[in-house]
Amino acid sequence: MRLTAVIAKSKVFRYFGMTFGCLIAACSINLFVVPSHLLTGGVTGIAMIIYYLAELPIGVQTFIYNIPLLIASYKFMGRDYTVDVVIGTVIFSICLDATKFLNSCAPVNDLMLASIYGGVFNGLGYGIVFRMNGSTGGFDILGAIVKKFYSMNMGSTIFAFNCCIVSVAGFLFGIQPALFTLICMYVTSHVTDKVIVGLNQRKAVLIVSENAADIAEAIMYEMRRGVTFLHGQGAYSGKERQVIMVALSLTEIAKLKMIIDTLDKNAFFIMMSANEVVGRGFTLPRRTKEFREIRQ
């Protein structure tokens, strides 16, 4: 019963997050993108082209155009994947038409500002949806199918479809809106990636030193960071040695360099970007009391 309650609570939180993300993206489209006659990517972009030409509701169109894609999803990707996509598609379509009144509240009249801010909030909304392991349908389904059967990159597939939409927009509405649409799509993609991988970017550091034990101890007790020893062997010398691996925040890099320089000026170390670090000291509280007890 307890496990069932936890799973139910997790699903409620997930669907709430998906709804919140869809609402942000829909508000962004109706506040910035539509008033400036720009487009977004995917099926929604096609719906917006028809809206500009015939004023048919974007949300209703988005749902209708997704139906054949959802059928293909059920056939090729399975029931579980399709159920999530259906839920995301319905929520997003409803949010698009429910926030249509925001068209008259456009805060900017400049195309550049509209494309940038539209892309930012669009990316924020989509990022939240994807972070909840959800989807708003559209070309994401095509990308997933192509990736499954042809091992093609999903991002490249979606980008190719979006380029076709931009080309049509350029032909119908002129080159200027098409170019600003590309800016909007780029910003959307960039912000979406940032939200998905998290904003708490860290550094992963590998340290090769003759004084690995002393450096590891200093990191654990002076910086209170966990350290892992990896087995290493010099290719030329054949000498075995310990390699230190540690994850740090950006503000801790200077202190780490000072520790390494103090204990071994000849140490070799590599710093790599880590998009997200999950675990004690980063997403869980540090065990400072245990560190003190061990040191004593």
Q: Give me the pLDDT at residue 101, please.
A: 92
Single-letter residue type at 263: L
The model's confidence at residue 77, banded by pLDDT at 50, 70 and 90, is confident
Quote the CA–CA distance of 49 and 270 in Å, as a whole number. 49
8 with 118, same domain: the answer is yes
On the CB side of 245, CA atoms within 13 Å amount to 8
175 with 221, same domain: the answer is no
State yes or no: pLDDT of 196 exceeds 90: no
CB-based contacts of 26: which residues, under 8 Å, 6+ apart? Answer: 59, 92, 95, 96, 98, 99, 125
The model's confidence at residue 164, banded by pLDDT at 50, 70 and 90, is confident
State yes or no: pLDDT of 1 exceeds 90: no
State yes or no: pLDDT of 290 exceeds 50: no
The one-character DSSP state at 275 is: S
Quote the CA–CA distance of 72 and 91 in Å, as a whole number. 20
Q: Give me the pLDDT at residue 292, please.
A: 47
3-class DSSP state for residue 241? strand
156 with 249, same domain: the answer is no
143 with 225, same domain: the answer is no
Q: Each residue of 32-53: pLDDT tens digit?
A: 999 999 998 889 999 999 999 9
Mean of per-residue pLDDT scores for the chain? 83
Q: Two tokens at 132?
A: 């909840």
Question: CA geometry: angle at 211 spanning 208 and 212, to 5°?
Answer: 55
275 with 170, same domain: the answer is no
In DSSP terms, which residues pair with 205 in a beta bridge? 246, 271
User: In which domain, by residue range, is 93 found?
Assistant: 2-197
Question: Which of 136, 162, 197 corresponds to the end of one domain?
Answer: 197
Question: Which of 149, 174, 197 corresponds to the end of one domain?
Answer: 197
What mean pLDDT is predicted for residues 251-257? 85
- What is the pTM assigned to this prediction? 0.73
Q: Sheet containing 228-233: which strands, arranged edge to edge? A: 228-233, 240-248, 202-208, 268-274
| 192 and 127 Cβ atoms separated by less than 8 Å | yes
What mean pLDDT is predicted for residues 188-204? 77
Domain count, the chain: 2
Quote the CA–CA distance of 239 and 168 in Å, as a whole number. 62
234 with 166, same domain: the answer is no
Question: Which of 197, 212, 241 corresponds to the end of one domain?
Answer: 197
| Percentage of residues in the chain having pLDDT higher than 70 | 84
- The single residue listed with the structure tokens 């698009």 is 96
